[in-house]
Structure 1
């Protein structure tokens, strides 16, 4: 047994893939201005009481999106160069590039991109703050 517990690479890769596949949407959510939140309106008509504060929900969703986007950017800044570019072209640029397009950009074979992407996703999971994407065996 090593110094650190063994991680389940498949589950870590899946966790990283799940977070990164949401990155564009979360980025748009984080970029939304808080001034877009509307003030409540009163029309004088009785309504059933609602315990949900919609403005609070919007603010919490915005802050959560900002935090995840910041965490993704922090993790990306730590991973290796090849992993960075494969993940960047796969998840961060609009539109996402195909394996063929990525291979041409970084001068690797198309077959290597699948390996590099999996390696990059594992590095990303390890670099994500507080080990939130890591799954141990």
Structure 2
């Protein structure tokens, strides 16, 4: 427990964990959008009726959203499944994030029981796992890490 606290000593653990949780909470919706999307190209309809100019390209916007969703899902999966075991100080950190946010296997209590944690140990491990996720998350377009203010 002491090594993880030292590892994240410059990081505001609560705010960083909240930021990572917000990103991972969006995973199920974005995964669903990425998997259900289909491109339907249609021929233009010529009706002979006057119409106003439309701005933007709806098909292009759909493609862009789909690619964004696919990249988001892949980034989350790579971080949790491949990188987390390498950076985690607890072998269950990746499982906690995977079970709770990605697979949505149940409540914290269900996952806590499944992994054999006590109440306080589970919540501590979950915050540490979220901070480890935030460390690896690319800083662009949004940084998940929140650093403690230094007193000068």
TM superposition score category, shorter chain reference:
0.7 to 0.9
Q: Give SS of 1:86's match.
A: helix
TM-score normalized by the length of structure 1: 0.81
5+ long unaligned stretches in structure 1 = 1-5
Alignment of 1:62 onto 2:72 = no
Q: Mapping of 1:92-131 within 5 angstroms? A: 92-93=102-103, 95-130=104-139
1:52 and 2:62 are equivalent in the alignment:
no
Residue 98 of structure 2, aligned match among 88, 93, 100: 88
The CA deviation at 1:92 is 1.0
The Cα shift of 1:38 comes to 3.6
Q: Which runs of 5+ in 2 are unaligned?
A: 1-9
Note the alpha carbon deviations across 1:80-109, whole angstroms, 9 max, x for none.
22111111111111x441122112211112
RMSD: 2.1
Distance in 2 (CA, whole Å) between partners of 1:40 and 1:10 is 52
Paired residue secondary structure (1:135): coil
1:58-82, Cα deviation, whole Å (9 max, x unpaired) = 0110111111111111211222221
Runs in 1 of length 4+ with deviation above 6 angstroms? none
Distance in 1 (alpha carbons) for counterparts of 2:133 and 2:66: 23
Measure how far apart 1:24 and its partner are.
0.7
Distance 2:65 2:119 in 1: 38
Aligned residues: 130
User: Whole-Å Cα distance in 1 between the matches of residues 96 and 43 of structure 2?
Assistant: 45
1:33 shift after superposition:
4.6
